[in-house]
Amino acid sequence: MQKKHFLRSLSLAAFVTLAGCSVPGVYKVDIQQGNVITQDMINQLRPGMTEQQVRFIMGTSLISDTFNPRRWDYLYSMEPGRQERRQERISLIFNEQGLLTGLQGDFMPGISRDQAILGSPDEPEVTAYPDTDINVEEEL
- Asked if residue 34 is part of any domain, the answer here is yes
Task: With 0.85 as the threshold, say if the pTM is over it.
Answer: no
List 96's β-bridge partners, or say none: none
- Asked if residue 12 is part of any domain, the answer here is no
Work out the average pLDDT over 8-37.
70
Q: Are 101 and 95 in contact (CB under 8 A)?
A: yes
Q: Are 43 and 111 in contact (CB under 8 A)?
A: yes
Work out the average pLDDT over 70-94.
87
Alpha carbon dihedral 34, 66, 95, 87, in 10-degree steps, equals -20
- Asked if residue 99 is part of any domain, the answer here is yes
- Asked if residue 46 is part of any domain, the answer here is yes
Q: Are 18 and 12 in contact (CB under 8 A)?
A: no
Domain containing residue 50: CATH number: 3.30.1450
- Asked if residue 57 is part of any domain, the answer here is yes
Write down the pLDDT at residue 24: 63
Residue numbers of the domain that contains 39: 28-120
Number of domains in the chain: 1
- Asked if residue 72 is part of any domain, the answer here is yes
- Asked if residue 85 is part of any domain, the answer here is yes
73 phi, psi to nearest 5 deg: -110, 130
Work out the average pLDDT over 73-102.
88
135 phi, psi to nearest 5 deg: -115, 135
- Asked if residue 11 is part of any domain, the answer here is no
